[in-house]
Amino acid sequence: MTKTADVVAFERNVTKALDDGQLRRNLRSAMTTLSQRRRALFADAEAFEQLRAQGQSIRRRALSRLPELLEQLEARCTDNGIQVHWAETTAEANAICLDIIRRHGAQRVIKGKSMVSEEMHLNHFLEEQGIEALETDLGEYIIQLDGETPSHIIVPAIHKNKDQIAHLFHDRIPNAPYTEVVEELNAIARQELREKFRAGEVGVSGVNFAVAETGTLCLVENEGNGRMCTTAPPVHIALMGLEKVVEKLQDVPPLLRLLTGSATGQPITTYFNMITAPRQPDERDGPQEVHLVILDNGRSSIYGDPERRATLQCIRCGACLNHCPIYTRLGGHAYGHVYPGPIGSILTPQLEGLDEAGVMASASTFCGACEEVCPVKIPFTEILRMLRNEAYARGESEHDVKGHGYRYTTVEALSWKSWALYNTSPGLARIGSQILGKLGQHLPMIGPLKEWTRTRTSPPFAPKSLHQLAQERGLDHDR
Amino acid sequence: MTANARANILSRLRATTAQGSFAVPDAPAIAGLALNLEERIDRLRRMLETMHAEVWVVSSVAWLDELKARLRVRTLNGLLYGPGTPLGAALEAAWEENLPPLVPYVEPVEQCRERLFNVDAGITSTQGAIAENGALILWPSAAEPRLMSLTPGLHIAVLEAGTIFNTFAEAIDQQGWLEQGMPTNALLVSGPSKTADIELTLTFGVHGPKELAVLIVA
Q: From the centroid of its chain, how far is CA B162?
A: 16
> Max CA-CA distance within chain A?
97
User: Which of A223, A285, A300 shows the shortest C-beta gap to B9?
Assistant: A300
Give the pLDDT confidence score for residue A440 in this predicted structure: 79
- pLDDT tens readout for residues B169-218: 999 999 999 999 999 999 999 999 999 999 999 999 999 999 999 999 99
Q: Is residue A395 helix, strand or coil?
A: coil
A205 φ, ψ (degrees, to nearest 5)? -140, 170
Task: Give, in order, the Cα–Cα distances in Å from A15 to each of A19, A394, A422.
Answer: 6, 31, 37
- Tell me the C-alpha distance between A117 and A90, whole Å: 9
Which of A201, A173, A198 minimizes the C-alpha distance to A187? A173
pLDDT band at A470 (very low <50, low <70, confident <90, very high): confident
| End-to-end Cα, chain B, rounded Å | 57
Backbone φ/ψ region at A5: left (φ over 0), alpha (ψ -120 to 50), beta: alpha
* Strand arrangement of the beta sheet that strand B128-130 belongs to: A245-246, A209-211, A216-221, A271-275, B185-189, B135-138, B128-130, B164-165
- pLDDT tens readout for residues A2-53: 678 889 999 999 999 999 999 999 999 999 999 999 999 999 999 999 999 9
Q: Which residue of chain A comes nearest to B192, CA vs CA? A: A270
Q: What is the percent of chain B with per-residue pLDDT over 90, rounded to a whole number?
A: 93
| Overall fold of domain A74-297 | Rossmann fold (3.40.50)
Taking CB atoms and an 8 Å cutoff, what residues of chain A touch B103? none
Give the pLDDT confidence score for residue A243 in this predicted structure: 98
B61/chain A closest Cα distance in angstroms: 30
Taking CB atoms and an 8 Å cutoff, what residues of chain A touch B51? 270
Q: What is the percent of chain A with per-residue pLDDT over 90, rounded to a whole number?
A: 83
| Strand locations in A68-143 (E) | 82-87, 108-111, 132-135
pLDDT band at A448 (very low <50, low <70, confident <90, very high): confident
* Strand arrangement of the beta sheet that strand B121-125 belongs to: B54-58, B211-217, B154-160, B121-125, B79-81, B102-104
* Strand arrangement of the beta sheet that strand A202-205 belongs to: A82-87, A289-295, A235-241, A202-205, A108-111, A132-135
A90/chain B closest Cα distance in angstroms: 12
CB neighbourhood size of B26 (10 A): 7
User: Which of B147, B183, B198 shows the shortest C-beta gap to A285?
Assistant: B147
Give the pLDDT confidence score for residue B212 in this predicted structure: 98
Task: Give, in order, the Cα–Cα distances in Å from A347 to each of A70, A222, A308, A383, A387.
Answer: 21, 26, 9, 9, 10
Locate the domains of chain B by residue range.
36-217
pLDDT band at A452 (very low <50, low <70, confident <90, very high): confident
Which of A446, A356, A366 minimizes the C-alpha distance to A407? A356
Query: Cβ A276–B17 below 8 Å, yes or no?
Result: no
Query: Cβ A273–B185 below 8 Å, yes or no?
Result: yes
Query: Cβ A232–B109 below 8 Å, yes or no?
Result: yes
User: Which of A56, A160, A231 shows the shortest C-beta gap to B25?
Assistant: A56
Which of B208, B179, B184 minimizes the C-alpha distance to B194? B208
Report the predicted TM-score, pTM, of the whole model to 2 decimal places.
Answer: 0.93
Helix pair A341-352, A380-392: axis angle to 10 deg: 40
- pLDDT tens readout for residues A401-436: 999 999 898 988 898 899 999 889 988 888 888 888
- What does the pLDDT average to over B45-51? 97
For the residues of A292-303, what is the DSSP string, one character each?
EEEE-TTHHHHH
3-state SS, chain B, equals: CHHHHHHHHHHHHHHHHHCCCCCCCCCCCCCCCCCCHHHHHHHHHHHHHHCCCEEEEECCCCHHHHHHHHHHCCCCCCEEECCCCHHHHHHHHHCCCCCCCEEECCCCHHHHHHHHHHCCEEEEECCEEECCCCEEEECCCCCCCHHHHCCCCEEEEEEEHHHEECCHHHHHHHCCHHHHCCCCEEEEECCCCEECCCCCCCEECCCCCCEEEEEEEC
Query: Cβ A276–B199 below 8 Å, yes or no?
Result: no
Which of A121, A128, A150 minimizes the C-alpha distance to A138? A150
- Mean pLDDT value across chain A: 94
Q: Which residue of chain A comes nearest to B82, CA vs CA? A: A284
- Tell me the C-alpha distance between A239 and A256, whole Å: 19
Taking CB atoms and an 8 Å cutoff, what residues of chain A touch B17? 64-67
Give the pLDDT confidence score for residue A479 in this predicted structure: 54
> What angle is formed at CA A40 by the lines to CA A34 and CA A41, rounded to 5 degrees?
95
Query: Cβ A275–B150 below 8 Å, yes or no?
Result: no
- Tell me the C-alpha distance between A238 and A241, whole Å: 10
A356 pLDDT higher than 90 = yes
Give the pLDDT confidence score for residue B121 in this predicted structure: 98
Give the pLDDT confidence score for residue A463 in this predicted structure: 82
How are the residues of chain A apportioned to helix, strand and coil, as percentages rounded to the nearest 5? 55, 10, 35
Residue A304's identity, in one-letter code, is G
CATH of B36-217, one of 3.40.190.10, 3.40.50.2300, 3.40.50.10420, 3.90.1150.10: 3.40.50.10420
Give the pLDDT confidence score for residue A477 in this predicted structure: 65
Locate the domains of chain A by residue range.
1-41+305-406, 74-297, 410-472
- Tell me the C-alpha distance between A19 and A15, whole Å: 6
A1 pLDDT higher than 80 = no
Which letter, b or e, does each residue of A397-435 get, where b requires 16 or more Cβ atoms within 10 Å of its Cβ? bebebbbbbbbeeeeeeeeeeeeeeeeeeeeeeeebbee
B2 pLDDT higher than 60 = no
Give the pLDDT confidence score for residue A474 in this predicted structure: 84
Give the pLDDT confidence score for residue B3 in this predicted structure: 66
Give the pLDDT confidence score for residue A444 in this predicted structure: 80
A272 pLDDT higher than 80 = yes
Which of B214, B216, B170, B218 minimizes the C-alpha distance to B54? B214
- What does the pLDDT average to over A123-129? 97
- Tell me the C-alpha distance between B118 and B148, whole Å: 12
Give the pLDDT confidence score for residue A22 in this predicted structure: 92
- pLDDT tens readout for residues B142-178: 999 999 999 999 999 999 999 999 999 999 999 999 9
Which one has a higher pLDDT value, A135 or A456?
Answer: A135
> Do residues A422 and A436 make contact, with C-beta atoms less than 8 angstroms apart?
no
- Mean pLDDT value across chain B: 95
Alpha helix (H) residue ranges in A353-409: 354-357, 369-373, 380-392
Give the pLDDT confidence score for residue A200 in this predicted structure: 87
Give the pLDDT confidence score for residue A475 in this predicted structure: 83
pLDDT band at A236 (very low <50, low <70, confident <90, very high): very high
- What does the pLDDT average to over A334-349? 97
Give the pLDDT confidence score for residue A467 in this predicted structure: 79
Query: Cβ A60–B169 below 8 Å, yes or no?
Result: no
User: Measured on CA atoms in the order B99, B101, B104, B108, is the torsion positive or negative?
Assistant: negative
Which of A142, A168, A140 minimizes the C-alpha distance to A154? A140
Long-range contacts of A346-351 (CB under 8 A, 24+ apart): A346/A311, A346/A378, A346/A380, A346/A383, A346/A384, A346/A387, A347/A311, A347/A314, A349/A387, A349/A401, A349/A403, A350/A298, A350/A301, A350/A302, A350/A308, A350/A311, A350/A387, A350/A401, A350/A402, A351/A119, A351/A297, A351/A298, A351/A299, A351/A302
> Do residues B131 and B180 make contact, with C-beta atoms less than 8 angstroms apart?
no
Task: Give, in order, the Cα–Cα distances in Å from A98 to each of A83, A95, A105, A290.
Answer: 15, 5, 10, 15
Q: Is residue A396 helix, strand or coil?
A: coil
